[in-house]
Chain A
Amino acid sequence: MSRIGVFVCHCGENIGRTVDCAAVAQACGELPGVVHSIDYKYMCSDPGQALVKQAVAEHKLDGVVVAACSPHMHEKTFRKTVANAGINRFLCEMANVREHCSWIHEDREEATQKAIDLTRFIVEKIKHNVPLEPIKIPVTRRALVIGGGIAGIQAALDIADGGCEVVLVEKEPSIGGHMSQLSETFPTLDCSQCILTPRMVEVYQHPRIKLMAYAEVDKVEGYIGNFTVTVRQKARGVNASLCNGCGECQKVCPNKKIASEFDAGLGKRPAIYVPFPQAVPNIPVIDRANCALYKGRARNAKKDACKKCEEVCGRKAIDFDQQDTFLTEKVGAIVVATGYQLYNIKKEQDKEAISGYGEYGYGTIPDVIDGLQFERLASASGPTGGKILRPSDGKEPKTVVFLQCIGSRDPAKGIDYCSKICCMYIAKHTMLYHHKVHGGQAIVFFMDIRAGGKGYDEFTRRAIEENDALYVRGRVSKMYRDGDVIKVLGFDTLSGEPMHIDADMVVLATAMRPQPGIESLAQKLSVSYDRFGFINEAHPKLRPVETNTAGVYVAGACQAPRDIPDAVAMASATASKILGLFSASELEREPLVAQVDQGTCAGCFHCVRVCPYGAVEHFEVKDRKGNLIKTVAQVNKGVCQGCGTCQANCPSKSVELQGFTDQQIFAAINAF
């Protein structure tokens, strides 16, 4: 027979006003198995808790029911109290007689009866509670960071500086991400590369960071603390251990007319190339789609067309036969920091719901460029050496129209959200333009200016007030090429006047979107993503850098549009979360997880199909000689989050969710 104590709280007047607490205590005292039942003014107060502790000792209680407020309020409090009194904390439960009873009813008799009922359910439930101990999971103190942009770099450095090993995987030939393409950064106008490249080098030289550039995550298995990740190292065609980055190969490559990704298509690069001079690692990659040798081989040509790079390489580092390789890494935590891409206004989009801008010519009008292209034009390392020149004819544009919110905040084009950074970088662009093109006129069409952030509003004011940018509140309905100029037809909604501008160049602040392929990566990691492909955080406010899969974290613009300070802050936050996780060799988790009775499990694996976390595995039951008897389900306690969907779907009821076992629920219903 159980020895249960019932403690009914008045919560001052909150419960006592409508519920006859003494009557509840008395009624519960008459239940079989209840050996102690009292009511008290404030159970959560120190004297109240002392009453519980005292009763546990005095009456040798093996179950404590506190009839008071919502368990969301004080379950932790009272579980701690009973733990201090020496019994397992899971032998304490709460009956919610405040939020679910006294506060919502006026009839004292009805409310009292209901309070008795609710408490009785819990008394009967607790008779089936068992002591539970936290689950301990070993932790591999090594992290994987996916994405080598500023967020990935920051996360990797913070974790590595914290003393743990990091594997940094970047799909491009160099780390640096979009930040390396930027000219200057708002709101300080400091040179982007000047602050980024030292961090890149730091990553490269860090003893605890294993950098895998030109590589992609292929497969992820395991769970928090114990992931096994397979990384595909793409073939560079260059032996990285031999190459010294001298750059001779690039000079001799005959095909130098390839649009440079780094220069957003405005500059050219050879078929063997490093994306930019400060690339880390400074090892070239052969672009097989554009290299004459590989193109020839693809056509089964008898002779290799060109081997100039191989001939010139003094270190014999060129390896045309190099193949992709797969490496397995064991890590305990994963940071997703894959960043963003820019929306384009072309008619053909990669997603059904997104359409382009026909009114802006679907991207066919010359000298209509996007923000990143302007960054390259304005960058000293860019194709024009930092001069603002029109891509079409190299003329200096005297009138430049900047359009904000292209694709963003436009449900008709499929993207509802605000891309956050455009207001700021367009302001920056107008300043750079003002500095570089004297007498040039920048005209900005905006919907409204969102400059929340330290020094941000001041920055946009500066653009307007000191740099003569003309800000027009309104949208551009149409643009077309007319001879040498781009006719921009817009509307100034403040003056109510239509505007016809003859522009020399137009810059579109196109929306930020997650990187292509994010969905398949998210599926590999079993993290959820929204309809635009942004990774979902576990809680929008309280768990902003965690995902719904334990051990997988998110930083930067793959979660939502982020600027550099945001991305860095998130990255440091993930690092701190991960270092916290890595602070012990074992991880403690709440033991409210599912457990399979392997004796009765029939091995139908309905549980495997419904588990949102992939926490249920196949387990082979063998006899002493090692013969297979049957294959049954087994729950990985490290992965299970305790939803209990497996249990409801188990036909033979061979899986039990601890804390909500069938016995417990059955007892509560039976007490109805």
Chain B
Amino acid sequence: MSAKTLTQADLASLVGDLVAAGTRVVAPSRTGVGPLQHLDYREIKKADEMTLDAGLPKRSIKELFFPPTEVLFRWKQKKNDFELQEVETKFQKTVVIGARPCDAAAPEIVDRLMNWDYKDELWNGRREATTIVALACDGQDKSCFCTAVGLGPDSTKGADVLLVPVKGGYHAEILTAKGEALVKDFGKRFGEAKSADEAGKFRETARAKVEGNLKVDPKPIRTWLDGHFEDKYWGEIALRCHGCGACASVCPTCHCFDIVDEPEGIYEGARRRNWDTCQTGKFTLHGSGHNPRGTQNMRFRQRVTHKFAIYPRKFEEILCTGCGRCARACPGGMDLLEILSDIGQMAGGAA
């Protein structure tokens, strides 16, 4: 691991270099109309489309690896035969600039699932083609709780390079081979590291700020969840929840999908993988009409349990990076911090 300095100007030039080299550059960028204008991770062609100082984008970088819809293969019907057409699993080289640490960490967590019993070629193909240049965060707002899930506003997890804002630019920590390769390819843009202390201070301040939002220990929470599936706490947990799944759409780690065969006309079509979420009633609806998760309360319990007990049990990773997007996106005012805090108290392990 090494450190470098990247000035604002150099970063801008780096974007130009990458685009010129045929690399897809993705960075926080403004989109939307009127009061609905917001920040998203989008492909940019010029450095001035990038906005690094306006906080956390509305959605995570999940969809760079796991798009809301993707074709698995195409089919054509000829009389009684089907002709199948595979899809490309090699992807364009991509550099993500300015991914927040909570976003950068997520793909690494989901990597475990995507390479468990089946190695998902599409996911892995995109992962391999992508270098993540993360940007340390100064703590978005009171819904951030990355520190409570073992990460932090300066976490390096999942990042190939971590940029920490310093005066005039960034202190860059080169974290992985992919990061090294980026520095090597575009060495002229990276200067000698010289602001490690300033960066350290930035990181400490941010960490302290986020830690104040939620203090829980995930371990006892996991234990409590394992033992309290039928607890009355779940009984009215989701009265205000609409079951809309907006939380899952913006979640960097939610990864459930549905597979549909989508005809285009009658004689051809595509098998697609589309995002899905456990928050809708249809998710577990059986063909018989029976639904094992018949109420929204059960569905919300599933969301919490999966993230903080089931996934950790299987992969030793919490399926949450504490980005707080679910609380921000919820039209009904559901708040994961509040629930974790409650459970933390019930579990007696409050820090």
Contacts from A to B (Cβ < 8 Å): 1, 30-32, 124, 599, 667, 670-672
Q: Which one of A32, A124, A599 contacts B80 once the chains associate, using CB atoms below 8 Å?
A: A32
Q: Which residue of B lies closest to A667 (CB)?
A: B266
**Contact between B266 and A671, CB atoms less than 8 A apart:** yes
Q: Which residue of B lies closest to A668 (CB)?
A: B266
| Cα separation A30 to B267 with both chains bound (whole Å) | 12
Q: Which residue of A lies closest to B81 (CB)?
A: A32
| Cα separation A174 to B94 with both chains bound (whole Å) | 96
Q: Which residues of B contact A672 (CB under 8 A)?
A: 265
**Contact between B80 and A1, CB atoms less than 8 A apart:** yes
Q: Which residues of A contact B77 (CB under 8 A)?
A: 32
| Cα separation A124 to B263 with both chains bound (whole Å) | 14
Q: Smallest distance from the beta carbon of B106 to chain A beta carbons, Å?
A: 37
17 contacts between A and B (CB under 8 A): A1-B80, A30-B79, A31-B79, A32-B77, A32-B78, A32-B79, A32-B80, A32-B267, A124-B266, A599-B289, A667-B266, A670-B263, A670-B265, A670-B266, A671-B265, A671-B266, A672-B265
Closest 6 CB pairs of A and B: A670-B266, A670-B265, A32-B77, A671-B266, A124-B266, A32-B79
Q: Which residues of B contact A599 (CB under 8 A)?
A: 289
Q: Which residues of A contact B263 (CB under 8 A)?
A: 670
Interface mask (B71-85 → A, CB under 8 Å = 1, otherwise 0): 000000111100000
Q: Which residues of A contact B80 (CB under 8 A)?
A: 1, 32
Q: Smallest distance from the beta carbon of B291 to chain A beta carbons, Å?
A: 14
Q: Smallest distance from the beta carbon of B146 to chain A beta carbons, Å?
A: 42
Q: Which residues of B contact A124 (CB under 8 A)?
A: 266
| Cα separation A671 to B267 with both chains bound (whole Å) | 8
| Cα separation A399 to B80 with both chains bound (whole Å) | 93
| Cα separation A31 to B77 with both chains bound (whole Å) | 9
Contacts from B to A (Cβ < 8 Å): 77-80, 263, 265-267, 289
Q: Which residues of A contact B266 (CB under 8 A)?
A: 124, 667, 670-671
Q: Smallest distance from the beta carbon of A60 to chain B beta carbons, Å?
A: 16
Q: Which residue of B lies closest to A30 (CB)?
A: B79
Q: Which of A1, A32, A667, A672 has the most CB of B within 10 A?
A: A32
Q: Smallest distance from the beta carbon of A400 to chain B beta carbons, Å?
A: 80
Q: Smallest distance from the beta carbon of A518 to chain B beta carbons, Å?
A: 51
Q: Which residues of B contact A671 (CB under 8 A)?
A: 265-266
Q: Smallest distance from the beta carbon of A664 to chain B beta carbons, Å?
A: 13
Given A670-B265, A671-B266, A672-B265, 8 new contacts (CB under 8 A): A30-B79, A32-B79, A32-B80, A32-B267, A124-B266, A599-B289, A670-B263, A670-B266
Q: Smallest distance from the beta carbon of A648 to chain B beta carbons, Å?
A: 23
| Cα separation A599 to B288 with both chains bound (whole Å) | 12
Q: Which residues of A contact B265 (CB under 8 A)?
A: 670-672
Q: Which residues of A contact B79 (CB under 8 A)?
A: 30-32
| Cα separation A32 to B263 with both chains bound (whole Å) | 15
| Cα separation A599 to B78 with both chains bound (whole Å) | 36
Q: Which residues of B contact A32 (CB under 8 A)?
A: 77-80, 267
Q: Smallest distance from the beta carbon of A591 to chain B beta carbons, Å?
A: 26
Q: Which of B80, B263, B267 has the most CB of A within 10 A?
A: B267
Q: Which residue of B lies closest to A669 (CB)?
A: B265
Q: Which residue of A lies closest to B263 (CB)?
A: A670
Q: Smallest distance from the beta carbon of A581 to chain B beta carbons, Å?
A: 42
Q: Smallest distance from the beta carbon of A661 to chain B beta carbons, Å?
A: 16
Q: Smallest distance from the beta carbon of B82 to chain A beta carbons, Å?
A: 10
Q: Which residue of A lies closest to B289 (CB)?
A: A599
| Cα separation A599 to B285 with both chains bound (whole Å) | 14
Q: Smallest distance from the beta carbon of A340 to chain B beta carbons, Å?
A: 59
Q: Smallest distance from the beta carbon of B244 to chain A beta carbons, Å?
A: 18
| Cα separation A672 to B267 with both chains bound (whole Å) | 11
| Cα separation A30 to B80 with both chains bound (whole Å) | 9
Q: Smallest distance from the beta carbon of B292 to chain A beta carbons, Å?
A: 19
Q: Which residue of B lies closest to A29 (CB)?
A: B79
Q: Which residues of A contact B289 (CB under 8 A)?
A: 599
Q: Smallest distance from the beta carbon of A621 to chain B beta carbons, Å?
A: 13
Q: Which residues of A contact B267 (CB under 8 A)?
A: 32
| Cα separation A30 to B77 with both chains bound (whole Å) | 11
Q: Which residue of A lies closest to B265 (CB)?
A: A670
| Cα separation A672 to B264 with both chains bound (whole Å) | 11
| Cα separation A671 to B265 with both chains bound (whole Å) | 6
| Cα separation A368 to B79 with both chains bound (whole Å) | 85
Q: Which of B79, B263, B265, B266 has the most CB of A within 10 A?
A: B266
| Cα separation A599 to B287 with both chains bound (whole Å) | 13
| Cα separation A164 to B337 with both chains bound (whole Å) | 79
| Cα separation A23 to B165 with both chains bound (whole Å) | 72
Q: Smallest distance from the beta carbon of A312 to chain B beta carbons, Å?
A: 77
Q: Which residue of B lies closest to A120 (CB)?
A: B266
| Cα separation A667 to B289 with both chains bound (whole Å) | 26
| Cα separation A1 to B263 with both chains bound (whole Å) | 17
Q: Smallest distance from the beta carbon of A109 to chain B beta carbons, Å?
A: 22
Q: Smallest distance from the beta carbon of B282 to chain A beta carbons, Å?
A: 12
Q: Which residue of B lies closest to A672 (CB)?
A: B265
| Cα separation A667 to B265 with both chains bound (whole Å) | 8
| Cα separation A670 to B262 with both chains bound (whole Å) | 12
Q: Smallest distance from the beta carbon of A524 to chain B beta carbons, Å?
A: 42
| Cα separation A31 to B78 with both chains bound (whole Å) | 8
Q: Which residue of B lies closest to A671 (CB)?
A: B266
| Cα separation A14 to B260 with both chains bound (whole Å) | 46
| Cα separation A400 to B184 with both chains bound (whole Å) | 122
Q: Which residue of B lies closest to A123 (CB)?
A: B266
| Cα separation A671 to B80 with both chains bound (whole Å) | 17
| Cα separation A260 to B266 with both chains bound (whole Å) | 77
Q: Which residue of A lies closest to B267 (CB)?
A: A32
Q: Which residues of B contact A667 (CB under 8 A)?
A: 266
Q: Which residue of B lies closest to A599 (CB)?
A: B289
Q: Which residue of B lies closest to A124 (CB)?
A: B266
Q: Which residue of A lies closest to B77 (CB)?
A: A32
Q: Which residues of B contact A31 (CB under 8 A)?
A: 79
| Cα separation A31 to B263 with both chains bound (whole Å) | 16
Q: Smallest distance from the beta carbon of B75 to chain A beta carbons, Å?
A: 12
Q: Which residues of B contact A30 (CB under 8 A)?
A: 79
| Cα separation A124 to B77 with both chains bound (whole Å) | 14
| Cα separation A299 to B80 with both chains bound (whole Å) | 90
| Cα separation A1 to B82 with both chains bound (whole Å) | 13
| Cα separation A31 to B266 with both chains bound (whole Å) | 10
| Cα separation A660 to B292 with both chains bound (whole Å) | 36
| Cα separation A32 to B268 with both chains bound (whole Å) | 12
Q: Which residue of A lies closest to B82 (CB)?
A: A32
| Cα separation A134 to B289 with both chains bound (whole Å) | 31
| Cα separation A1 to B80 with both chains bound (whole Å) | 9
| Cα separation A639 to B80 with both chains bound (whole Å) | 43
Q: Which residues of B contact A1 (CB under 8 A)?
A: 80
| Cα separation A1 to B81 with both chains bound (whole Å) | 12
Q: Which residue of B lies closest to A127 (CB)?
A: B266
Q: Which residue of A lies closest to B266 (CB)?
A: A670
Q: Smallest distance from the beta carbon of B286 to chain A beta carbons, Å?
A: 14
Q: Which residue of A lies closest to B264 (CB)?
A: A670
Q: Smallest distance from the beta carbon of B65 to chain A beta carbons, Å?
A: 33
Q: Which residues of B contact A670 (CB under 8 A)?
A: 263, 265-266
Q: Smallest distance from the beta carbon of A3 to chain B beta carbons, Å?
A: 12
Q: Smallest distance from the beta carbon of B145 to chain A beta carbons, Å?
A: 39
| Cα separation A31 to B265 with both chains bound (whole Å) | 13
| Cα separation A327 to B77 with both chains bound (whole Å) | 66
Q: Smallest distance from the beta carbon of B334 to chain A beta carbons, Å?
A: 26
| Cα separation A667 to B80 with both chains bound (whole Å) | 18
Q: Smallest distance from the beta carbon of B1 to chain A beta carbons, Å?
A: 57
| Cα separation A526 to B266 with both chains bound (whole Å) | 43
Q: Smallest distance from the beta carbon of A128 to chain B beta carbons, Å?
A: 11
| Cα separation A255 to B257 with both chains bound (whole Å) | 92
